[in-house]
Amino acid sequence: MADTPAEIEALALGFMRAWIAGDAKAVKKLTARDSMMMVGTAPPQLLDRPSFLAAMERGFACTRFAFREVFVRQHGKAAWFVAGAELELRLGAWPWEGRFLVTQMWRCGTIGGWKLVELSLARLDEGAAYADSVRALQLWT
């Protein structure tokens, strides 16, 4: 049996590399037809797969990424990927860089294997006080 967390992490890396390369064919192959992307702006915005693929052609680009803290949890035929990341994005001529939370929901189908069904990008708030306060709420620490 395959190591699902490692497989999902590899797929997440593959998706980001395809985005950097502007490889719409590879992105399309990795994403489900009904996939959605939530972009953490105020207010949040949604892009379906056709919109995201078109946005890649119109200048919504990832020029660099580095995943930091990575967590993967499998839930039946779905897997949840969460990572703190350093991203360099471009919205046309406008740079959007910094620390982000990247979440991806992958679904395993009987045909085609794992496909990305949900992707969210949201800027992270700075300040260790927030992280320390939330960590203090964990019952297992």
Q: What is the pLDDT of residues 101-133, one digit of tens each?
A: 999 999 999 888 999 999 999 988 766 666 776
| Residue 41: per-residue pLDDT | 85
Q: Is the dihedral of CA 134, 136, 140, 141 positive or negative?
A: positive
How far apart CA 9 and CA 83 sit, in angstroms, is: 10
- Say if CB 81 and CB 103 are below 8 A apart: yes
Global pTM value: 0.90
**Which structural domains are found in the chain, ordered by start?**
4-135 (3.10.450.50)
